[in-house]
Amino acid sequence: MIRHLSRIRLTAFRNYTAAALDLDSRHVVLTGPNGAGKTNLLEAISVLSPGRGLRGASFETLQAHGSDIGWAVAATIETDDGPADIGTGAAPDGGRRVRINGANARSIEAMSDYLRVLWLTPAMDGLFSGPAGDRRRFLDRLVTTLIPSHSAAVGDYEKAMRQRNRLLEDHGDTAWLSAIEAQMAELGASVHLARTDSLSHLQSLIGQSLDDASFPAAHLALTPLLDEGAEPAASTALESVLAESWRLSRGRDRAAGRTLMGPHRVDLEVTYAQKGMPAALGSTGEQKALLIGLILAHARLVRLRTDITPFLLLDEIAAHLDPDRRRALFSALDGLGTQCFLTGTDRLLFEALGARAQLLTVRDGRLLHD
């Protein structure tokens, strides 16, 4: 059986006052005019996973305008062990709470026991030529689908780093500064090793299918973590090196007003493998195809390593693909054995899916089966 969402319910989420959607296991195609709520529905599904969803928005901004009811998203997921009910929604502190099968979840990451989620949006089209921060966030999203706790580790590392920056600016207590740097080192080592391990497995999988891929293959690498010297492979050794590096760089970082070395400065380097050129130098179409190929490969990796194939949320995915590439995409999605959600303004772009998809029209925050 294909793991799939059989029911989605939204309350006071973006432009949806209330909505309910019943589905079978086929792909879901959402069409309608711009601003109707297609991407909002994808975002609702994306927050059923660790992190802040496909827009990276703070949770208080998800609230429907003018509503005094807290936002909520709930879904029923059909699994081999039977249906599971998962819901998340606004919490009083501005964050969110999670319930699974009617009970409060032990953690946000508990949702990942039932579903993993990956997405592509038009905002990611310039990923390879844009700022390094966008590529780090993209990489961390990939890692989180493999290691659900990774998102929280990244957030905790960045919080600790901001504390260090404030202490440096205020010439704070040296002992407290050392304690913060030790915390940063533990979190930073965890973040970096999770990234390198995930990339290693992903690159290995990409290499196995390099010659028969329907989409361009990527060669992936991280820029050096440390200013100089080799990176220790063991977590405890890397923690020690990081803590010592930050201790020695306090004067430089104080003058700069920020921490100049660490996982927050690492960049993801992507090369178009078949052409041996940086992805950023490819055409717009080549970059789009390369990004699609990367997401498809990672979905296969998640399936292999977790036994859960991620749901794919593909916003406006077909608009810039020629008919042959669209057919190749739809065939690749079928091969994953998962439920994919695709959006577009023109239904003709999805004709090649035929009966493999269920079609819905989105209009002013309303979902209509065709």
SS3 assignment, position 94: coil
pLDDT score, position 263 = 98
pLDDT tens string 194-220? 999 999 999 999 988 665 567 889 999
The two beta strands, 311-314 and 277-278, are: unpaired
pLDDT score, position 349 = 94
- % pLDDT > 90, the chain: 88
Cα 266 from Cα 271, distance rounded (Å): 16
In this structure, the number of other CB atoms found within 10 A of the CB of residue 211 comes to 8
The residues that bridge with 31 in the sheet, in sequence order, are 344, 361
CATH class (in words) of the domain with range 1-116+308-370? alpha beta
Query: Which CA distances in Å does 280 have to 19, 129, 195, 270?
Result: 40, 5, 21, 8
Burial class, 219, CB count within 10 angstroms (exposed 0-12 / middle 13-18 / buried 19+): middle
Burial class, 289, CB count within 10 angstroms (exposed 0-12 / middle 13-18 / buried 19+): buried
pLDDT tens string 236-279? 999 999 999 999 999 999 999 999 999 999 999 999 998 999 99
Greatest CA separation for the chain = 66
pTM of the model: 0.95
